Amino acid sequence: MESSKVIHAIYTDDDILMAAVKDVRVAKYHIDEVYTPFPVHGLDKAMGLAPTRLAITAFIYGCIGLTVATLMMNFIMIEDWPQDIGGKPSFSYLENLPAFVPIMFELTVFFAAHLMVITFYLRSRIWPFKDAENPDPRTTDDHFLMEISVDNNNEYAITELLKTTGAVEINLVDKAH
């Protein structure tokens, strides 16, 4: 049976939090989550999290945008409705390529940006009208919270370890909903 109890250790400084995360990992305890009011550089590596693959998806989304731009401009400006704009011929896509570069760039950025936002929300499970999962509202202002799962055998040991790491507050919380 999996325990639903967690310990919340609250810190007031990001450097102290980083040292505490490293100490907890050295002691072989698993950190479930860390809540911070701003991104803390290096926290993902200190927690032992795997690198993200979001950059790969951004590249793929940019390639999709470039493809859509190319196909769209070829169909609209060359095949469907060729126009003589400023004396430029409309006989082939390649002859007009310099004029199409800004559109290609803009659609590449547009697709990458918008699809990345959607991907981030889906990956983070952030839906419209979803209740916040933040365990302590102070973590949106100036406090940092480390959440560690416990069982009856290691609760005291984890609490004692967290006291030595500089936590200003340590709470045992039952996460059962």
- Closest Cα to residue 11, out of 43, 59, 52? 43
Q: Could you read off the pLDDT tens digit of each residue along the chain, which spans 177 residues? A: 455 889 999 999 999 999 999 999 999 999 999 999 999 999 999 999 998 888 999 999 999 999 999 999 999 888 888 877 777 667 788 888 888 899 999 999 999 999 999 998 998 888 888 888 889 989 989 999 999 988 877 888 999 999 999 999 999 888 765
Domain ranges across the chain: 5-51+141-174, 54-123
5-51+141-174 carries CATH number 3.30.70.120? yes
Find, among 170, 177, 175, the residue nearest to 143 by Cα: 170
Q: What pTM does this model have?
A: 0.71
Element containing residue 11 per DSSP (H, E): strand 5-11
